[in-house]
Structures are given as structure tokens and as C-alpha cells.
Amino acid sequence: MKRYALRAVGFTLIASLGYTVTDFCIQFLVRKYTLFQVFFMVVVTSMLTLLACMPFPALRRRIIRKNETLKIHNWKAHVLIGLLGFAADGCAFFSFRGNSLGLVYALLLSVPLFSALISLIFFKEKFNRWKTGALFFGFGASVLIANPSFSFAGVASLSLLLASLSAMFFSVLFFIFKYYAEHENVTVLFLSSRSISFLLLVPAVVYFWEPMTLNHLLLSALSGVGFFLGFFFILYATRLGTVVMVTSLQYTQLLMALLVDFLLYSLFPSWLTIVSSFVIVACCLIMIRQGIHMETAEHHDIDHMEGPFIHQI
């Protein structure tokens, strides 16, 4: 179990790096091209990255594991993942326009808060005063970052609110990955979700397409490679570790984003953003700690069961 946990940690860190590279490229490209075109190029280049790996046996064995078949077992899970992934990516990509990576990531990484809310509503998870307080203050800090002036006018406020919406979609995706698509092949999930995005984007791209320079095409290719790495490694991490652990490790993206903003754009977040980000991270860590205690207690109760009942579980 420890070996699987360590592999999940490594996979999550690689996925975080891949997604950060993708988001940096997208942040630059959406200021010069339409969102539809940039999104379309990420989809196409990520699928081409997968195809480019297939001729190499070593890479192919890593992508398609032994005894795995490229077959759809639950088509509803594929459709849900495709549609939710399209909505989550679209909202996140739009929020990069006119905002720093650090500011957007502070909202995108509130996924554990939304995961806790989903657990409360749909899985009837019990909440103590720590979890309730963390949920309340965490969402309050998210609202403060998304709309510090409490004015719903302007693109900046809209884009940051979409970042929060993207975090909600991503939290739902984690639950689907973990509990409803556990028997699905990761390669098939990737191809089906990217194919749905491709079909939804084609009409808009045909109408809004603009010629791209060679440098921008290379940036698009880099964003596709980063997305490919992020998608595959985050799914493998979710299979090996708990949703709580995987979502908590993604906070490394916030540090990477702040570093990118400072080194490339000489941007430093405001004190409001720093304090609110600290509150969000602290509240999420409280949710994670409470979740670990709950899982430990459940396993402790099972270990102390006696008689034939334990064999019926």
C-alpha cells in the first residue's frame, strides 16, 4: 500500500507540472486568438501526442497496461466525463484571459471544498464543527478572490467566477473517475473525452479560425503535451490513491503558478489574494485531515468486528 501511495504522489506531481505548462501556454495564446481556437489546438495536439507515443513499445506499454483492453464498459461515464471535462476546461481557459495564473489557481484549487460539499449532499457524509467551519470560510475566501469589489460587472469578475465553476466541475470529475469509471481504460477515457471536445469545438473553430505563427503553433503543441501528461498521470494517481490525497497534492500548482507569474511577468499577488489563498489552503487541509481521521476510524471499526459479520462485508 505504501508503494502505491508513493507512486500516486509522484504521478500527481507530474500531472501538476504538465497542467501548469498547459495553462501557461493557454494564458499567452488566449490573448491573441479566440478561446475556441486555442481550446481546439490543445485537444488536437494532445491527441497527436498520444498517437506519437504508440510506435514506441516502451511508451505504449506505459500507456496501455498489460491485460487491458481498449473497450468501453460504461458509455455513460465516458459521456459524462467528456461533457464535464469540456465545461471544466472551457471555464478554466476563459478565466486565464486577463488574470494571473496564481489568482486563477487560488480558485481552481478549491476542489476539496466542492468535493466535501458533494459528499455532504449526495453521500450523506457527517460534518463536525471543523468541517463545517472550513467549508464556510473556504467558500467565503473563494468569493472574496473572485469578486473583491462585490460588483458583478466586468470581464474580470466573470472570468474568476468561471474559475470557481470550473473547480466544481473538476471535483465532480474526480468522483466519477474514482467510483464510476474505475474499470475503464485510461487511454479510452482520454480519447473519448477529447473526441467529445473536438466535435463540440469544430463548428466554432471553422467560423473563428485565424492563421497561427510557427511560434504559436509550437506553444500549442507544448500545451497539448502538458495536457496529455496531466490527464494520464492524474487518472493513474486517482486509481492508486485517495481523492483526498490527490487533490491536496495539487496545491503544488499554486506555487508553480506564483513562480511563473513572478519570473516571467514580474507579477506579485495582492495581500487580499495572499490572505484569501492562505485561508482556502488552510480550510482544504482541515477538510483533508478530517477525511483521513474519518477513514482511519472506519477501518478501526472494521478491524474490531468479530464473528461471521466481518466476512459479509
Place of cell 491527441: 47
The pTM score is 0.73
Taking the alpha carbons of 250, 251, 252, 253 in that order, is the dihedral positive or negative? positive
Res 165: pLDDT: 87
Q: Mean of the pLDDT values across residues 162-167?
A: 85
Place of cell 460504461: 74
Dihedral-angle region of residue 68 (phi above 0 means left; psi in -120 to 50 means alpha; beta otherwise): beta
Per-residue pLDDT tens over the stretch 90-104: 988 888 887 777 778
**How far, in Å, are 210, 228, 244, 301 from residue 111 at the CA level?**
34, 21, 10, 29
Dist. CA 103–CA 30, nearest whole Å: 17
**Weakest mean pLDDT among 40-49, 73-82, 200-209, 236-245:** 236-245
Please determine, for residue 86, whether its predicted confidence score (pLDDT) is greater than 90.
yes
Tell me, what amino acid is at 208? F
Higher pLDDT, 108 or 34: 34
Per-residue pLDDT tens over the stretch 34-83: 989 999 999 999 999 988 888 878 777 777 766 666 777 788 888 988 99
* Distance from the first to the final alpha carbon of the chain: 20
Tell me, what amino acid is at 169? F
Domain assignments of the chain as residue spans, ordered by start: 2-65+73-301
- Highest mean pLDDT pick, 43-47, 155-159, 175-179, 264-268: 43-47
Please determine, for residue 299, whether its predicted confidence score (pLDDT) is greater than 50.
no
Whats the size of the chain, residue-wise? 313
Tell me, what amino acid is at 79? V
Taking the alpha carbons of 255, 257, 261, 264 in that order, is the dihedral positive or negative? positive
Cell, residue 218: 509550437
Q: What is the band of 218 on the pLDDT scale with cuts at 50, 70, 90?
A: very high
Res 71: pLDDT: 78
